[in-house]
Chain A
C-alpha cells in the first residue's frame, strides 16, 4: 500500500473513532438490562454524534470562530451552534429519563428491565 493511500485513510480516522464510540453506546443500550446503564449508554451515543458534528466543522489550519484582525481561516461555526444547544437539551432530557427511572423504581422496586417484565407478566396473570 502506498503512502498516499495511508495518509488518505488517516483522514477518515475521526469518523472511525466516532463509530467506535457510537457502537459502544449502542451496545450498552441494546444489551444491558439496567435502566441507569442504558441512559449512560445513550449519553455515550449522544457524545459520539456531537464529536461527529464538531469534527466535520473543523478546517485545517483554522481557528476558533471568533472574528479577529489578521485571521483568515475559521472553523465552521454552524455545527458548534447546533451542538451547543444540543448538549444542554441533552442534559435536560437525561434528567427527564432519570426521573422516569426513579418513578419506575418506586412502582416496581427494581431498575432491571427483565425483572420489571416478570413483575408485569405476573400482574397480568393475577388480573
Chain B
C-alpha cells in the first residue's frame, strides 16, 4: 500500500501542474510552440492520470461522461460557429478579419476562439475514448493484467 500512497501524493502534486501547463499551452500557442491540439491532449492526460490513480468511478464523479460528450460536440460547434459568425458579419466563411477593426486584432480573436474549440473537442474526445475503454475493464481498477510489469 505504500506504493499507492506515494502515487497518490505525487499525482496530487502533478495533476494541477499538468492542467496549468495545458492551459498555458492552449493560450500561449500564438507565441511559442503549442495550440489547441497539444493542449487538448495534455488536458486529457491529466484526467487520465487521475483516473488511473484514483479509479474510474472517482474520475467519473469529477468529470461525468455526459459533460465530456457535450464538450465533444460543443468544440466542433464553436469552430463551425466562428465560420458562420464571420459570414453573418459580412466576411467569408472563417474569414477572421471582420471580427475586429484591425486585421491583426480580428485574426487574433479568430485564432483564439478556433483553437479553443479544437482544444475542447480533442480533450473531451480523448477522455471519452478513455472512459469507454476503461468502463469495460473494471469499475475500480483500470487494468487487471496490465498493471504487473
A touching B, CB within 8 angstroms: yes
Residues of A with Cβ closer than 8 Å to B?
64, 66, 84-85, 87-88, 91-92, 95, 98-99, 102
Interface residues on B, range: 10 to 19
Q: Does B129 contact A (CB under 8 A)?
A: yes
List of B residues within 8 angstroms of A92 by Cβ: 125, 129
List of B residues within 8 angstroms of A66 by Cβ: 31-33
Question: CA of A92 to CA of B132 in the docked complex: distance in angstroms?
Answer: 13
List of A residues within 8 angstroms of B38 by Cβ: 84
List of B residues within 8 angstroms of A98 by Cβ: 133
| Chain B 34-48 residues near chain A, CB threshold 8 A | 35, 37-38, 40-41
Question: CA of A108 to CA of B14 in the docked complex: distance in angstroms?
Answer: 41
Question: CA of A91 to CA of B41 in the docked complex: distance in angstroms?
Answer: 10
Question: CA of A85 to CA of B133 in the docked complex: distance in angstroms?
Answer: 23
Q: Does B136 contact A (CB under 8 A)?
A: yes
The answer to whether B37 touches A85, judged by C-beta atoms less than 8 angstroms apart, is yes
Inter-chain residue pair count (beta carbon < 8 A): 23
Q: Does B122 contact A (CB under 8 A)?
A: yes
Would you list 23 pairs from A and B whose C-beta atoms are within 8 A, ordered by A residue?
A64-B33, A66-B31, A66-B32, A66-B33, A84-B35, A84-B37, A84-B38, A85-B37, A87-B37, A88-B37, A88-B40, A88-B41, A88-B122, A91-B126, A92-B125, A92-B129, A95-B129, A95-B133, A98-B133, A99-B132, A99-B133, A102-B133, A102-B136
Nearest chain A CB to B16 CB, angstrom units? 24
List of A residues within 8 angstroms of B41 by Cβ: 88
> Which chain A residue has the least Cβ–Cβ distance from B132?
A99
List of B residues within 8 angstroms of A88 by Cβ: 37, 40-41, 122
> Which chain A residue has the least Cβ–Cβ distance from B41?
A88
| Chain B 14-60 residues near chain A, CB threshold 8 A | 31-33, 35, 37-38, 40-41
Nearest chain A CB to B103 CB, angstrom units? 16
Nearest chain A CB to B50 CB, angstrom units? 19
Select the residue from A66, A88, A102 with max chain B CB neighbours within 10 A: A88
Question: CA of A87 to CA of B126 in the docked complex: distance in angstroms?
Answer: 13
Question: CA of A85 to CA of B125 in the docked complex: distance in angstroms?
Answer: 14
List of B residues within 8 angstroms of A91 by Cβ: 126
List of A residues within 8 angstroms of B132 by Cβ: 99
Going nearest first, the 7 A-B pairs with the smallest beta carbon separation are A95-B129, A88-B37, A88-B122, A84-B37, A92-B125, A85-B37, A66-B32
